[in-house]
């Protein structure tokens, strides 16, 4: 091969590589699997976006910075799956509503999200924050308490380049084209809501009973690692910082204690964690009062949707009822949009029903009364929860309260 031929070969090779790079970038930009570029948005082609499997925090934050929402929803997967920004309760909202909730994350992520929005000049008028009891529970093994939680976001990652130019992005672009007419594909709405369509396939194949059973085993394993004697103060500090930031920006904050299914609450009882659950609510009330005392203009309300009421005590289909469906819950870990719409309607239309120091006792009595009624109609929920916890399995030194 002559020098001239070698140069021609190198030029051809470089041209092929450049064309490959351009084709890759063009595919990702045009199909736009993450909704970042918005060059093309066509029904049947790329209007349906797949669920986020990477850069969840960063991509959702980029959407919020672009949309500049007046109402934001923060929390974990319960909030992402349950609270739809397109819910009727938001019909009167003045401005965009966006769901910033990220599965598997806690108050550290929520606080950082809010701080980033405020730093960019985005000042939401209303912040709806789901507070997760599990996040406030100390671990029985202190050596693992400081470990970085699974799914914790890396805020410094060079995600923009990787989201544009990577094989993973090409894969997600091709996947986007495939799911346009797939009613059971995992998706994410333009407003950040996850309709959990992929659960449809699990329900159709396994039925609701198996889904509840599997989630119960997972929850039991998690609860057995939690201390029954102490709450961790780190999350209270993060909550306080978030409330101060929101109040300083004149945002109204609505804290939501999720509408946990009766099965989950029965497991709290069986694990010996119910006294801490009550203690946690009382401390939330005190934290709010403390922020309001230092920021007189703060508008913070706490709403407790936990309990054993009609919604929470929804019947779990039996093992043989493969075609039986639930209305309010996917499983004890996640409530459906239908129940989320009910929660949002009450949250936004009944602002005077928040939980405070004057209503704590009445709230405890309400839940106790609901428990008796739920136990009478669904005794299996409580008996099965008790069987999952054997006192002999509790780590040495841990005693029920």
Distances (CA, A) of 6 to 2, 12, 13: 6, 10, 10
Domains and CATH numbers, the chain: 68-140+184-393 (3.40.50.1110)
Phi, psi angle pair for 185, to nearest 5°: -90, 145
79: Cα separation from own chain's centroid: 4
| Segments of 167-207 assigned E as strands | 187-188
Q: Token digits for 370?
A: 């609901």
Per-residue pLDDT tens digits of the chain, which is 401 residues long: 677 766 776 777 777 777 766 778 889 999 999 999 999 999 999 999 999 999 999 999 999 999 999 999 999 999 999 999 999 999 988 899 999 999 999 999 999 999 999 999 999 999 999 999 999 998 877 554 444 443 445 445 588 889 998 889 999 999 999 999 999 999 999 999 999 999 888 888 889 999 999 999 999 999 999 989 889 999 999 999 999 999 999 999 999 999 999 999 999 999 999 999 999 999 999 999 999 999 988 999 999 999 999 999 999 999 888 889 999 999 998 999 999 999 999 999 876 668 999 999 999 999 999 999 999 999 999 999 999 986 655 444 444 33
CA–CA separation, 141 and 397 (whole Å): 11
DSSP character for 131? E
Contact 151, 104 (CB under 8 A): yes
Element holding 213 (H helix, E strand): helix 208-223
DSSP character for 76? S
CA–CA separation, 287 and 253 (whole Å): 13
Task: Judge residue 307's burial from the number of C-beta atoms within 10 Å of its C-beta, 0-12 exposed, 13-18 middle, 19 or more buried.
Answer: buried
Which residue has tokens 């394993």?
A: 221
DSSP character for 51? P
């Amino acid at each position: 091969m002559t020098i001239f031929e070698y140069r021609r070969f190198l030029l051809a090779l470089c041209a092929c590589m450049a064309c490959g790079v351009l084709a890759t970038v063009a595919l990702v930009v045009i199909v736009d699997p993450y909704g970042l570029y918005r060059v093309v948005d066509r029904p049947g082609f790329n209007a349906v976006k797949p669920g986020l499997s990477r850069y969840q925090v960063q991509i959702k934050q980029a959407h919020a910075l672009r949309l500049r929402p007046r109402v934001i929803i923060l929390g974990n997967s319960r909030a992402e799956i349950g609270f739809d920004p397109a819910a009727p309760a938001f019909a009167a909202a003045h401005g965009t509503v966006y769901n910033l909730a990220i599965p598997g994350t806690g108050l550290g992520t929520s606080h950082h999200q809010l701080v980033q929005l405020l730093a960019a000049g985005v000042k939401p008028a209303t912040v709806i924050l789901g507070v997760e009891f599990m996040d406030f529970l100390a671990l029985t093994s202190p050596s693992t308490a400081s470990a970085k939680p699974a799914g914790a976001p890396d805020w410094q990652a060079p995600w923009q380049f990787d989201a544009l130019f990577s094989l993973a992005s090409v894969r997600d672009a091709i996947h986007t084209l495939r799911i346009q007419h797939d009613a059971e594909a995992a998706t994410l709405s333009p407003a950040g809501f996850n309709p959990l369509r992929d659960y449809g396939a699990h329900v159709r194949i396994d039925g609701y009973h198996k889904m509840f059973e599997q989630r119960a085993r997972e929850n039991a394993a998690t609860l057995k690692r939690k201390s029954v004697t102490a709450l961790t103060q780190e999350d209270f500090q993060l909550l306080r910082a978030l409330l101060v930031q929101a109040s300083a920006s004149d945002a109204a904050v609505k804290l939501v204690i999720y509408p946990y299914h009766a099965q989950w609450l029965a497991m709290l009882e069986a694990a010996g964690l119910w006294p801490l659950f009550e203690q946690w609510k009382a401390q939330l009330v005190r934290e709010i009062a403390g922020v309001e005392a230092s920021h007189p203009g703060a508008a913070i309300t706490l709403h407790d949707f936990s309990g054993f009421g009609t919604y929470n005590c929804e019947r779990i289909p039996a093992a043989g009822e493969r075609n039986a469906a639930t209305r309010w819950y996917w499983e004890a870990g996640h409530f459906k949009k239908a129940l989320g719409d009910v929660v949002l309607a009450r949250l936004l239309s009944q602002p005077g029903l928040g939980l405070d120091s004057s209503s704590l006792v009445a709230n405890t009595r309400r839940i106790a009364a609901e428990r008796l009624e739920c136990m009478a109609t669904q005794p299996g929920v409580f008996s099965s929860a008790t069987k999952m916890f054997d006192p002999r399995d509790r780590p040495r030194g841990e005693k029920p309260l």
